[in-house]
């Protein structure tokens, strides 16, 4: 393995550039992590049952967009968040958390995902303080974000929740345009309803209203949200 590690600077730089979670790791450990995993192509709409496998993994999204959800006791999908390249999911497998047993990832388009066995990541966390801190920070940040969304659901009405989510989505997955942000539109009205805990009918009515007011624009290809400071 040592020969491979010393001869792969391009892979090292690619991984550091794409995944902030490993940017402070030393070169050798980065490539050990790389060699432990395998890249798999996940076709659009395919589901990954994050923990329902004989070998558990931590997943590094290399290309595409994915939706991370839980399945509740009624068998219904509860959307947690969306992720883009450079993000990690399945990190709860490192904690053997009961919540991870019902977690799924859905490819919103064709994706490439690094599957890295949990045990390999745990081994490196023991000897690599930077990786251990980065993963703990990553998990804490994600938990905080989920808590903020929960309080938003409790304190805001339907229109506010939907608009907050649209702002968050386009600013994270899109790019600035005149007066706002625009992103590729992967969302269905059902997706927006699930993540904002409202009905599909309410989402449809609210989006029509927002568009009429000039706050948003959308079609099957793109979604735009305007004048963030005024909403």
> In this structure, are 18 and 60 located in the same domain?
yes
> In this structure, are 13 and 108 located in the same domain?
yes
> In this structure, are 209 and 128 located in the same domain?
no
Of the residues 114, 132, 153, the one at which a domain ends: 153
| Cα–Cα distance, 89 to 218 (Å, whole number) | 29
Residue 6's pLDDT is: 41
| Cα–Cα distance, 133 to 136 (Å, whole number) | 5
> In this structure, are 162 and 140 located in the same domain?
no
> In this structure, are 23 and 96 located in the same domain?
yes
Lowest mean pLDDT among 75-84, 92-101, 121-130, 131-140: 92-101
Lowest mean pLDDT among 83-97, 110-124, 163-177: 83-97
What would the DSSP string read from start to end of 15-60? HHHH-GGGTTS-HHHHHHHHHH-EEEEE-TT-EEESS-SSS-EEEE
9 pLDDT more than 60: no
% pLDDT > 90, the chain: 52
What is the average pLDDT across 46-60? 86
CATH code, domain carrying 18: 2.60.120.10
Of the residues 153, 172, 200, the one at which a domain ends: 153
| pLDDT 10s digits, 133-179 | 988 888 888 888 888 878 777 888 999 999 999 999 999 999 999 88
| Cα–Cα distance, 229 to 101 (Å, whole number) | 40
199 pLDDT more than 80: yes
> In this structure, are 177 and 115 located in the same domain?
no
> In this structure, are 96 and 60 located in the same domain?
yes
Lowest mean pLDDT among 12-16, 101-105, 177-181: 12-16
Yes or no: say if 183 and 225 are a contact pair by the CB < 8 Å rule.
no
> In this structure, are 127 and 210 located in the same domain?
no
Domain enclosing residue 188, as ranges: 157-230
């Amino acid at each position: 393995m040592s020969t491979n590690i010393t001869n792969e600077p391009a892979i090292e730089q690619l991984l550091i550039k794409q995944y902030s979670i490993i940017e402070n790791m030393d070169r050798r450990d980065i490539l050990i992590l790389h060699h432990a995993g395998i890249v798999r192509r996940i076709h659009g709409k395919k589901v990954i049952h994050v923990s329902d496998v004989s070998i558990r993994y931590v997943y590094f999204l290399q290309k595409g967009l994915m939706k991370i959800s839980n399945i509740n006791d009624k068998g219904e999908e509860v959307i947690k968040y969306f992720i883009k390249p450079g993000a990690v999911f399945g990190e709860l497998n490192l904690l053997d958390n009961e919540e991870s047993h019902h977690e799924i990832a859905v490819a919103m388009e064709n994706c490439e995902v690094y599957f890295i066995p949990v045990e390999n990541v745990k081994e490196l966390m023991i000897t690599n303080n930077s990786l251990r801190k980065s993963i703990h920070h990553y998990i804490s940040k994600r938990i905080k974000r989920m808590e903020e969304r929960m309080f938003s659901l409790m304190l805001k009405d339907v229109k506010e929740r939907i608009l907050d989510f649209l702002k968050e989505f386009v600013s994270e997955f899109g790019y600035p345009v005149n007066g706002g942000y625009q992103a590729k539109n992967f969302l269905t009205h059902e997706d927006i309803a699930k993540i904002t805990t409202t009905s599909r009918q309410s989402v449809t009515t609210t989006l029509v209203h927002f568009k009429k007011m000039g706050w948003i624009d959308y079609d099957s290809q793109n979604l735009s949200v305007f004048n963030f400071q005024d909403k």
